[in-house]
Structures are given as C-alpha cells and as structure tokens.
Amino acid sequence: MIVVTKAERLNTAPVGIIVEDENGAKAKAKLYASHTRENVEKGSFFVANIIKDPLIFAISAFDDLSEEYFESLDPPVIKGSLAYCEFEAKLKGLFADLRLLNGKIIRNELRAVNRGFNAVIEALVHATRYVKNRDPELEKKIRECYEIIEKCGGEREMEAMDIIKERTGIY
C-alpha cells in the first residue's frame, strides 16, 4: 500500500501493512526512520491507498507524490487508487499499531497475478536499500527482478523499471 501522511507537506511512501486477522480492525506496520514515521510522531493522519499502478509505487518509493497525483486531498486519495483506509497509528518500538477508522472502495478491479508487477515491488524493496549501501548482493537481486519485469511486465512495469534504473544507476 502507499501510505500518505502530512506534517508540513504531504508525504507518500510504500509501506507493508501486516493484517493478522482479516476480519478485525487491527493491523501493524514496520516503520523505520522515515518521513512517514516523523509525521506519525507529529500526529499526522495515516491513510493507506491500494494502488495497482507500478509507476506510482516506483515514484513514491524515491520521492513524494506531488498534489497533481491525487484525485482527492481530503481524504488523500491517489489517482487510480482502488481503495483507501484511514488508520489511527500509534508508534510502538519499530512498529506502528494501526486501527482502522474508516475507508472506502473506490474502484473494484479484479486483477490476476502479474509477475512483472510483483517484480517491480521486489526491485523497489531492494533498490531503496541499495541506494543507501550499494550492496552488490542487492544489485544482483535487482537485476534478477529486471529479467522478470522484461519477461512478464507491461508498459507501466517497464516505465517503473526505468525509474529504478535511473535512481540506482543499475542499468
């Protein structure tokens, strides 16, 4: 999911939200030192968007989405978002305990598994670490993701890969 928070300005970041009980209102998320975490500390709202566009994941992994990427600012809904969920977030060590406050399904589109899309997500996890430590093991994993993206991805996945290439310098 892409989480939107706000202190001085809007912050957007891909965050893994862990839902242990699908029927409950509780969830949690690991929040490393980040603008998302800082904003939560300052009392920001915490709104998760379900996004299917790999390009939005790629952009928000490295930068904040500017306002033009939103179809609504209150609640903060990214263009093309399938749904949003507003959570109450309480920091607890490395995690944030989340409680669902409200949410809405905006467009319910069924998607089959897309290995190309999935490889973009994995590449982004590795790439955001790689730009900090230049670990050659991560470079290898990113290249493996490129292979899957090239084989299974569509146009949007290829565009997302281009952003990863630019940002990591791994071509």
Q: Write out the residues near a second copy by the rule CB under 8 A.
A: 1, 16-18, 20, 48, 50, 82-83, 105, 108, 110-113, 115, 118, 121-122, 125, 141, 144, 148, 152, 154
**Least distance between a second copy and beta carbon 129 (Å):** 14
Closest listed residue to residue 153, CA positions, set 123, 111, 118, 126 = 118
Among residues 111 and 132, whose Cβ is nearest to a second copy?
111
Among residues 37 and 141, whose Cβ is nearest to a second copy?
141
Closest listed residue to residue 47, CA positions, set 57, 55, 36 = 36
**Least distance between a second copy and beta carbon 42 (Å):** 26
Query: Using the 8-state DSSP alphabet, how is residue 69 labeled?
Result: G
Distance CA 94, CA 72 (A): 30
Distances (CA, A) of 74 to 1, 71, 86, 108, 118: 18, 9, 11, 20, 29
Distance CA 69, CA 24 (A): 31
**Least distance between a second copy and beta carbon 88 (Å):** 18
Among residues 16 and 24, whose Cβ is nearest to a second copy?
16
**Least distance between a second copy and beta carbon 8 (Å):** 28
